[in-house]
């Protein structure tokens, strides 16, 4: 797999929606390409930061007020 | 399960997710709460016509996205509330989260996501923060899956640059 081929596959790779064959080829390329490894590491960190800290929470009183509207 | 019970169950599971989408698109907690209220009231009115066309969460987020976009269009010409901009890092986070996250990191994440265009931001929030599948994000945004993949790739590339000091 080349750098361009990995780049084209990145959305699926990062989402884990690829075949075993594609995944093996991507990992093989990443083992030998520092540039692509750096990019993938960074993008995985970006994803993780937002997965862990991106969700916000409504104020409890607002949540309760809206919930009550739905009960009738 | 009655319509009310279904909607209440959905509310308990996804109210914060809808709030997050609204806040990330509008940058204002009151408007985000309006989106939550409008979304669930609209869902309550129309759930009888829901026909199992995928996860019910995707159906709900579609209503929420339309509501947020409508608010955004109405608001386009209004000045941004400076209080909300200053308080962006702390908005919607619990005390525990605020104490664990450094304010600086929280602020950096909020600032970075603000640099995305609304269409990239919506795709990224729904996929990465709310965990919808690419297919469901496409359904919510009423675009093709390939368009969602392209938006996600662009969003991640921009966020990587914006968050360079934190990676």
Q: What CATH number is attached to the domain comprising B70?
A: 1.20.140.160
Tell me the domain boundaries of chain A: 3-70
Indicate if the pLDDT at residue B51 is higher than 90.
Answer: no
Q: Is B82 exposed, middle or buried (0-12, 13-18, 19+ CB in 10 A)?
A: exposed
pLDDT at B83: 40
Identity of the residue in A39, A51, A62 whose CB atom sits nearest the CB atom of B33: A62
**Residue B166 pLDDT grade (very low, low, confident, very high; cuts 50, 70, 90):** confident
Determine the average pLDDT of the residues in B13-41: 95
pLDDT at A15: 83
Determine the average pLDDT of the residues in A19-30: 94
Domain that holds residue B58: 3-166
Quote ipTM for the complex: 0.85
Compute the Cα dihedral for B141, B58, B37, B21 and give only its sign. Answer: negative
Which residues on chain A are in Cβ contact (under 8 Å) with B159?
46, 50
Total tally of structural domains belonging to chain B: 1
Chain-chain contact of A15 with B134 (C-beta, under 8 angstroms): yes
Chain-chain contact of B8 with A15 (C-beta, under 8 angstroms): no
Q: What are the φ and ψ backbone dihedral angles of A13, each rounded to 5 degrees? A: -60, -45
- A31 contact B CB<8A: no
pLDDT at A12: 86
Can you give the three-state secondary structure of chain B, one letter per residue? CCHHHHHHHHHHHHHHHHHHHHHHHHCCHHHHHHHHHHHHHHHHHHHHHCCCCCCHHHHHHHHHHHHHHHHHHHHCCCCCCHHHHHCCCCCCCCHHHHHHCCHHHHHHHHHHHHCCCHHHHHHHHHHHHCCCCHHHHHHHHCCCHHHHHHHHHHHHHHHHHHCHHHC
Among B19-23, B35-39, B86-90, B118-122, which stretch is predicted with the lowest mean pLDDT?
Answer: B86-90
- pTM of the predicted protein model: 0.84
- B37 contact A CB<8A: yes
- B128 contact A CB<8A: yes
Helix (H) or strand (E) run with residue A33 in it: none
pLDDT in tens, B78-115: 555 444 443 445 556 665 555 556 778 888 999 999 99
């Amino acid at each position: 797999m080349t750098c361009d081929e990995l780049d084209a596959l990145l959305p699926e790779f990062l989402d884990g929606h690829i075949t075993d064959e594609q995944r093996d080829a991507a990992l093989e390329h990443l083992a030998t390409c520092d540039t692509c490894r750096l990019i993938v590491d960074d993008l995985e960190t970006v994803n993780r930061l937002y997965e862990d800290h991106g969700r916000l929470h409504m104020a409890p009183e607002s949540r309760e007020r809206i919930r009550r509207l739905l009960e009738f | 399960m009655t319509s009310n019970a279904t909607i209440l169950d959905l509310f308990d599971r996804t109210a914060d997710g809808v709030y997050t989408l609204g806040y990330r698109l509008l940058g204002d907690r009151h408007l985000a709460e309006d989106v939550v209220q409008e979304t669930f009231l609209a869902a309550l009115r129309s759930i009888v016509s829901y026909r199992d066309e995928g996860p019910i969460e995707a159906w709900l987020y579609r209503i929420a996205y339309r509501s947020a976009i409508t608010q955004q269009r109405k608001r386009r010409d209004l000045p941004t509330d400076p209080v909300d901009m200053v308080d962006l890092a702390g908005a919607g986070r619990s005390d525990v989260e605020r104490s664990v996250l450094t304010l600086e990191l929280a602020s950096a994440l909020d600032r970075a996501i603000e640099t995305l265009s609304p269409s990239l931001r919506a795709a990224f929030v729904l996929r990465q923060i709310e965990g919808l599948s690419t297919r469901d994000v496409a359904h919510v945004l009423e675009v093709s899956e390939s368009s969602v993949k392209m938006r996600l790739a662009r969003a991640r590339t921009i966020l990587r640059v914006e968050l360079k000091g934190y990676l």
